[in-house]
Amino acid sequence: MTYDNDNIFAKILRDELPCHRVYEDDKTLAFLDIMPRSDGHTLVIPKQPSRNFLDLDPQEFAPLLTTTQIIARAALQAFAADGVVLQQFNEAAAGQEVFHLHFHVLPRVEGVKLRPPGTMAENDVLADHAQRLRSALEKNT
């Protein structure tokens, strides 16, 4: 399988599509999922073109996992979560829908079920969640 330079995350990286960015460095980008399964559902991607976990340059894993951990910690704080779920899928048979490597960071509150997949969130809700995450990140740096 080859990397598609026109996938939605590649377009986000090139600023061809908008997103609610919460964190960015020279190797990674974290932004809100527009169809969140929980409040604060964030996606963390490498800037290097990579279809999935199986083809990422091994030297790029440390920055990607570091950012994923940074976002998970901020999400716990920003959403008063009791835990956090990390999800990562490789190829369609495993549930991958966007073929650019990404981690889902889902803050979880005890007793609150995940929303069903496929429901778009209101832009003002996403903007609020992004601000809450950025505020938590600022407190921890």
Q: Which residues are the active-site residues?
A: 102
Residue from 22, 43, 44, 20 nearest 125 by CA: 20
The residues, ordered by sequence, that sit 6+ positions from 128 with a Cβ below 8 Å of its Cβ are none
- Separation between Cα atoms, residue 110 and residue 112, nearest integer Å: 6
- Separation between Cα atoms, residue 83 and residue 77, nearest integer Å: 10
Return the C-alpha torsion angle 56, 114, 35, 58, nearest 10: -10
